[in-house]
Amino acid sequence: MESKRQQKFAGVLQEELAQVFQREGAAFLPNTLVTITRVRVSPDLAVAKVYLSFFNTNNTTLSINTVNAHSGEIRYKLGSRIRHQVRVVPELTFFVDDTNEYVERMDHLFDKIAKEPRQKDEDSE
């Protein structure tokens, strides 16, 4: 369970990182829309796990590897934006948020189940 302090700091990071990706993300991910879906912060606020969702890309693994390769640059740009609000800029680790893919897969399975013919119960006869 995250404390209010962690949640508040995660919200600040999410907003500021969104601005960084919106303004300067095209430099390392051209024609790709990056959405920050969730940020989790350690209790000491020194480490942040950032979950990203990518649109208009065929290879999310390549995209997340590209973001991780530029994590130092992203952290620097984040630090310049929040330097007056925090003592230490957290280490950033980026992960793919595959929630949308999971939801689509589950919807597909439920649709498939719904289309299957129902078997009659022997008990009801």
CATH code where residue 8 lies: 3.30.300.20
Query: For 46-98, how does the pLDDT look when each residue is reduced to its tens digit (9 = 90+)?
Result: 999 999 988 888 888 899 999 999 999 999 999 999 989 888 899 999 999 87
Does 60 map to a domain? yes
Report, as an integer, the average pLDDT of 9-19: 95
Is residue 96, in this structure, part of any structural domain at all?
A: yes
Q: 122 in a domain, yes or no? A: no
In 3D space, the residue among 11, 17, 9, 5 whose CA is nearest the CA of residue 93 turns out to be 17
Closest CA to 33 of 110, 100, 109: 100
Indicate the number of domains in the chain.
1
Query: What are the pLDDT digits (tens) for 18-41?
Result: 999 999 888 888 888 899 999 999
Question: Would the pLDDT of 124 be above 60?
Answer: no
Residue 120 lies in a domain: no
Residue 79 in any domain: the answer is yes
In a domain, 44, yes or no: yes
More confident residue, 1 or 61: 61
